Every structure is written in structure tokens, then in C-alpha cells.
Structure 1
Amino acid sequence: MRKKWFSGIVALTLFAVILAGCTSGDSSEAGSGSDKVTVTIWHNWTGQDAKAVAMRKIIEDFRTAHPDIEVVDEGLPTDGLKTRLRTVAAANEMPDLFVMWPDAMTKEFVKGDLLQPINAELDAKPEWKDNFIPNALDGYTVEGNIYSVPMNLAPSSFIYYNEALFKENNVKVPETWAELEQAVASFNEKGIIPMALGNKTNWVAQSTIFSTLADRVTGTDWFLKAVAQDGASFTDPQFVEALKKMQELGNIKAFQDGFNSIDETQMMQLYFQGKTAMVMNGGWALANLVNNAPEEVLKNTHITILPPVDGGKGEPRTTSGVVGTGLGVSKKLSGAQKDAAMELFYALAGPDGQKATLDSSTLVSYKIDLDKSKAHPLFVELYDLMQEVKITPVYDSKLGSATVEVINNGLQELLMGGKAEDIAGRIQAAQANAMKQ
């Protein structure tokens, strides 16, 4: 009886060992097959815009080309994705790959020990790493480690102008500050709005005009020092001068009456209706123009940048903006799962992914030629312009959220006659406080 009992235990043990061996591939790294690796990715490519469609196609093509890798993707609207990422970050339960933003979010996740750098992967492919535009990797670099690469480019400050209105009224498209002032005066005389502005939500003046204008006056190095509160202050004379230059535009009636009571959409409507000669907006406005502007306005629309400011310390051929979103790589990834995740990363953010993004009429932070025969002429014009200009920081990408609120509100007040020195003092106090926290 004892022998039978012992033999039964041995048999059960052997069966358990064999069963464990058969199922050992079914882990967090495995899918339905023992050799299949699972990679999870969260993204915001949920719409039917060309960029989203292009990115989803890359994922589908990757699945087809890699039957040994199971890609589990989840798409969320941008705001929902940001909220969800911060929720799982608090619990240290990040997906394997996820769309993330440069600067503040990247630094926050690095501080939480949630990301792993991709220096080795970039160094192994110098033809990839070396083709990003200048400063493109800065927003994803923390203490010398690179945590992602941008998958698009978001310049925030262009002058879109109606060439027909300039020609009809014998006005020169401005290339200097004096010519801009003359254009404003000429259009006002003709009863045409020189430049539409919709600053009701108050980020518009800061993002599309002031970030570039201020850089023209102060230069980028000064701004970054002021952000860090290291050798520069927002009460410095050059920043006060930048505020006064912005106020000058209001004083010479560059903008229509009531500019603080309409939003960006209404601002663009003024341009679509032919009531304004110019409008300053970001690269994102191009799709709106192409899809919604009347044909007569669209065919006469061209793009330029804000003229340089006499005596300013900033480079003249620049525009404010940010490099685009990238992909974060979970700190927990290793082995075959990390290898698979980095293959997908490269498919989406490598040269082929950058080309697919550009072909979807989306600017990229990457040196790649556009197939101009397939793109809308206005996008071709924007693309060509971006080959000549350098991106400088947009204020709301570098400053703390509390400071951004102060500067946005301050610009509204400034354009209504507020004192530049007082507004500068409040901005300085907000940023000094933010750096202490």
C-alpha cells in the first residue's frame, strides 16, 4: 500500500514537471505560442486624419512581417492618453511602448524611474540618429541620456497671408519690421484688418506671436537661462523690451478690435472671409486652410515668418515650436521582449516611419525629402520654408504651468494697455516660485 502511494506521488510529480515545461512559454512575454513575444503599445492615432491612418498601417504591416510578435495596441484620444499614462505611472504599470511628449512629461517619467534610454539603439544606427534636425533630441534628453525621438514637428508661428490683398492694395509682403509696420498702416487705411487675432483662450498670442517675437529681441540663450532662473530674470531689460514690442503691435492697430473676445477658430474665419490680409498661427493651421478655406482664398495663401526686430539678439530665420511626440520605452522591458519592442519602435519612428508621416502632410523633425508630386502645394511651401528656418522654444513648452498662466493672462492685459514692467515682474515671480518647488 505504501509503495503504491509513493509511486502515485512520483507519477503526479513527474506529470506536474512535464505540464510546467509545456506551459512555461506562457508568460508576460509570450502570446498564444511558446515562442511568441507580446508587445503592448498605447497611442493617440485614433482618428481618420492621414497621420493616424499612416501610423496604424505601420503597426498592421509590422504584425504581418513579424508573426512571432504579438502587438497589442490601444488607441486613446490625446487628453485621455495623457491622463491614463499619468495614472499608470503612479502605479508603475506602464505599457511596453507609449506615445509621450518631450520636456515636462519626459522629465517627469525619468524622475519616476519609468523609462529606459535608447542611446545604444541610436548609436547602433548612426544613419538614423544623425538625420534628425538640430536640437530635435533635446526635449527627450535628460542628463545625457536620450529617451525617445520625435515623430513629427510642431512649429507654432507663421504668417499666413493673402497675396491677392497685398497686390490689390500695393502693399509689400513684410521682410523687415519697418515693412510690417507699413503694411499694418496701409491695410488700416483701406479698411482691411492687417492681422486677425483670436486670443479669447489667451494661449494664441503667446504661442503664435510672442514666443517668436520675444526670441527676436532676447535670443534663445537668454530665455533658457531665465526659465532655469540661472543668470537671467524676466525683469531684465531685454524681456521688458520684448513685451513693449508686442504692445506696439496692439498700439498701431495690427489686430482687429475685440481680439480678446474671439477664439482661434473665429480668427481663422476672418481670414477665410477675406477680411484680413494676414493671420499668425502654427503649422497645424495648414490642414484647416486646405480643408475649409474658400478656393479663392486658398489659392492666394502663402506663408512667411515674422520679420527680425532691429537691434534684437535673436537669430532672424527662426520660428517658435516644439518637436513632436515620441515613444517611451518601459524601464521593465528586457531580453526578447525589449528587442521586439525596439523593432516596432524603429518601424514607427525610424526613417520609414518618418517618411510615412511626411507623406501624410505632417512636418517631421527629420531630414527627408518630400514627394512634392503627392503633396498639396501649400504643404510643399511650408515644407520648403522649414528647410530654411530653425526652431526656437515656444514659451509654454519650457515654462511651468503656473508661469504659463501668468504670461498668457499678462499678454491679454498688455495688449489692452497694461504696463510691461508690472507684467514682467509677475512672470518673474511665478517662475522663481516654480523653480523652488
Structure 2
Amino acid sequence: MKKPIVSVGIGVILLAVLAACGTNNDEGKEAGAEEKTQITLWHNFNGNDLRSLAMRSLIETFQINNPQIELKVEKFVSDGYRAKVMEAAKADNLPDVFVMWSGSMTSDFAQAGLIQPINELLGEYPEWRDGFMPGSLEAFTEGGNTYSAPMGLTPTSILYYNKSIFLEQKLTVPQTWEQLLDVIRKLNDKGIAPIALGNKAGWVAQSSIFSSLADRVTGTDWFMKAIAQEGAAYTDRVFVDALTYMQELAEAGAFQKGYANMDNLEMELLFARGEAAMMIDGGWALTNMAANATNEELRRIGATVLPSMPEGLGNSRSVSGVTGIGMGLSSKAQDERKEAALALIYAMSGPEAQRKTLESNQLVSYKIDLDRNKVSSIFAEVYELVTSVDFTPVYDVYLSSETAEVLNEGLKKLLAGTAEPEEVAASLQEAHVRSAEPARSE
């Protein structure tokens, strides 16, 4: 493999060589002219949070440093991005480079031949490859090939709380389910929204609350057996119990009015302004709040893990989490397009990109020291928290996209009081079996 083009210096050398070649032919082309290599890029770094700003800055720098590469960039809002990628995958029309997730998306796309490995890029930069935390690259590995490099570390179920509200109301941060319900009741009695939620897109309740809550009830081993349909099913009593606890939250009035019509960004800002006492959200909230909340608001925020569950089989000192996103490489990108695409992937996930990502208040799965002077106080607190807990599965990382959507819709109905736990469990089991049938028949 040729070394990817990642600097102005290399670009200048290439242009000079091509210019010299141009003067030796008689085709009437202007000396030094070069046909640009075009590659397409899709991403969801469309917001004004610090992480999105940092990623867009990396893209702009790449374009400046590589004038011989023409990027055709399409930006999408986060809530609709995953569906857009899945739609393109079904039509076999993925862009050359695109943000993708580890887990089921990587596995499904690799098995379908839609993406190609980046093994040669990792081999070209061994120090970069070896700088990732254990298990990080493995999250993007399928059949012995690695298809992307992690661009972040994403805990999805951190319990954020407003220190001022808890102090003023003389409340203790809940460590058990019973304590959580008691805090919810006392906050409602005072007219204070207990937990901020923005579940318009459906995934927040599943990824940020249910994935961790359910693991505390069922344990991780049960979930992995249910995924494989080997000795466990979603209609099992233990899973129905987990859904019942979610229903109990809604019935206790845990969430503010209008949560079903609010997105996660609005939810995070509502919490940061002190309009709710708690929020159960992922590590991505840190970069959004750092960009939009005041320093005073940020200093009022604390972070911990979700409470333990009664007779739960799972680890109560854990958070659901995932290696996060990486840049996928389309199998259709070949020759010069592949070289350019690999250069872009390195520019967006190499050591310098990892440093900029961390400084944008986004956790990374790369070994790098944190400069506390460049991040918010709550980010530093969460940084310490995630190094002291275990990670458990996020449901939509392991479920197929179709099955995850069934769970998202089921949780919406459960929280709205229009479905019972047993109904949601049965629908999920049916969808999971249906999604696995094509793979089993091959």
C-alpha cells in the first residue's frame, strides 16, 4: 500500500512530479494540471457542540492540506442519520467514507460485502494502532478483519444530577431503586421535574435508560443468550420484569411533561438550565452542554451510575456503553479513491484527531492524557467515573436495526401507558426471531 496523502508537503511533491510528466507529453494540457480524486463523505457532525465543531475542523483542514482530493460532503442531523445510512446500504449506494457504528452495523455491512477492511492503514501506522485501549479495535473487527478505528468512547447511561437542587431539597443521590422512587416522589411534591427526558426519536429511552436498567435486572449473560436465542428469550419473566420497572418510572411521574416531543439536545439543555433535577444520558451530553451551558451551570452538575435494582442479577457498578463510532470505507472505493479515503479516515481518527476529540469534551478509547484545563469540570468527573466502572451492552448495538426500532417503539408505548410489558416483550421476541431467519437459512 502507498502511504496515504496526509500533508501539504506530500501533496506538493505529487503535484511537482505530475507537472514534470505533463511537460513531456504533447496533449495540450496545462503544465502542472492534475485531475482531482473525488471521494464522498457522509457524517452527522452537524451540531454546534464542541465535538461536532472539532470534527468539521478536521475535515476542513484535510481539504486544505490535500488540494488534489475533492471531498463531496453531506451532513445529516443525528436523529435521522442512522436511518439514512441503512437506506443507502439496502440500495448498495453507500458513500466512500461514512460514520458508522460498531457492533451489528459493522458485522452486517461486512458480511454483506458493503465495506472493506482498513488493515493496511493500521499496518502503516503501528504506533497509532497500538494506542487504542484493549477491545476497542475489536469492536470493529469481523472475521479477522478490522473495518474502522474508534473515534470515541460512549457510555450511554450516566445519571447526571443537579447538585444545587439536591442540596436545596435535602435529598441524597439515589443508589437503589427504592431510593430513586422516593426522590422522584419528593421532587414531584415540590413541583420539580425529577428526570429530564427527550424521547422524540425513540432511541434515548432504550439506549440511555433501558439498556443499563435491564442489564441490572437480567445480567449480561442472559442478554447475550437472548441475542443468540440460546436458552433465553425476550418473553422470559426476567426481561418482562425489566420492562415493568420502566413502566414503573413512567407511572411514578419520573419525566417532565412533553418528553415524547422533545429531542435529546433539548433535553440536555433543559437539564443544564436546572429545569430538572436529574438526567439519564450518555457521554455525548458533555460536549453539547460544554458548548451551550455556562460554567456556573456546569459546576452544578454531578455524575454517577444508575441505582441498583431489587434482586438484580447484573453488575450495579456499571454503565451501558460502546466503543462508539468510526469511519466506514465503502467496498466500492478502489485505487486512487481508496488511497484518498484511507487518508481521510486517518485524518479523522489518528492521534491528533483523538487529542482534539478529547479536548472537545468527548471521551475516547485511545491512550492519551487528559489536560483538565481544556475541559469542563463535569467532563473531568465523568472521565474519572468511566475508568472505575464496568461496561455492559447497549441494546441497539447488538439488535438488528429493525429489531431495535421495534424495541424503541415498544418503550414509547410502555411509557405512554398504551402497552403492557408482556406485549412489548412478545413483539421484540417476534421481531428478533424474524430478523435472524435469513442468516440461519444461509
Structure-1-length-normalised TM-score = 0.78
The match for 1:148 is 148
The match for 1:216 is 216
**1:313 Cα deviation from its structure 2 partner:** 2.6
SS at match of 1:173: coil
**1:150 Cα deviation from its structure 2 partner:** 1.5
**1:292 Cα deviation from its structure 2 partner:** 4.1
Q: What pairs with 1:1-400 in structure 2 (closer than 5 Å)?
A: 22=25, 32-33=33-34, 38=37, 40=39, 42-44=41-43, 50-58=50-58, 70-78=68-76, 83=84, 87=88, 90=91, 95=96, 97-122=97-122, 125-256=125-256, 259-260=259-260, 264=264, 267-268=267-268, 270-272=270-272, 274-293=274-293, 297-331=297-331, 341-400=341-400
Does 2:421 correspond to 1:406?
no
CA distance in 1, matches of 2:324, 2:308: 26
CA distance in 1, matches of 2:270, 2:348: 38
SS at match of 1:230: coil
**1:233 Cα deviation from its structure 2 partner:** 0.6
* Preserved contact between residue 62 and residue 344 of structure 2 (Cα < 8 Å): yes
* Unaligned 5+ runs, structure 1: 1-17
CA distance in 2, matches of 1:234, 1:175: 27
* Preserved contact between residue 194 and residue 254 of structure 2 (Cα < 8 Å): yes
The match for 2:435 is 434
Q: 1:409-437 CA deviation, whole Å, 9 max, x = no partner?
A: 32233332743223212211121112114
Q: 1:331-356 CA deviation, whole Å, 9 max, x = no partner?
A: 46667875665454333322222112
CA distance in 2, matches of 1:323, 1:393: 10
Closer/same/farther in 2, CA of residues 43 and 273 from structure 1, 3 Å limit: closer
Which stretch shows the higher mean deviation, 245-254 or 363-372? 245-254
CA distance in 2, matches of 1:325, 1:240: 30
**1:234 Cα deviation from its structure 2 partner:** 0.3
Closer/same/farther in 2, CA of residues 58 and 264 from structure 1, 3 Å limit: closer
* Preserved contact between residue 39 and residue 341 of structure 1 (Cα < 8 Å): no
CA distance in 2, matches of 1:333, 1:230: 38
* Preserved contact between residue 303 and residue 381 of structure 1 (Cα < 8 Å): yes
CA distance in 2, matches of 1:285, 1:400: 25
- Letter matched to residue 345 of structure 2: F
**1:373 Cα deviation from its structure 2 partner:** 0.9
Q: 1:13-62 CA deviation, whole Å, 9 max, x = no partner?
A: xxxxx99x9499x9xxxx945xx994735142566654445445545655
CA distance in 1, matches of 2:265, 2:60: 35
Closer/same/farther in 2, CA of residues 188 and 113 from structure 1, 3 Å limit: closer
CA distance in 2, matches of 1:328, 1:345: 8
Which stretch shows the higher mean deviation, 139-148 or 181-190? 181-190
Which stretch shows the higher mean deviation, 391-400 or 260-269? 260-269
Root-mean-square deviation over aligned CA pairs: 3.8
SS at match of 2:302: strand
Closer/same/farther in 2, CA of residues 141 and 221 from structure 1, 3 Å limit: farther
* Preserved contact between residue 38 and residue 70 of structure 1 (Cα < 8 Å): yes
Could you say which structure has the larger radius of gyration?
1
Which stretch shows the higher mean deviation, 370-379 or 104-113? 104-113
CA distance in 2, matches of 1:208, 1:94: 29
The match for 1:424 is 425
SS at match of 2:373: coil
* Preserved contact between residue 89 and residue 114 of structure 1 (Cα < 8 Å): no
SS at match of 2:372: coil
SS at match of 1:192: coil
CA distance in 2, matches of 1:208, 1:100: 19
Structure-2-length-normalised TM-score = 0.77
Q: 1:250-305 CA deviation, whole Å, 9 max, x = no partner?
A: 34443346654655466456535534311222223334434444665443122222
Which stretch shows the higher mean deviation, 383-392 or 268-277? 268-277
* Preserved contact between residue 40 and residue 71 of structure 2 (Cα < 8 Å): yes
Which stretch shows the higher mean deviation, 117-126 or 238-247? 117-126
- Letter matched to residue 74 of structure 1: K
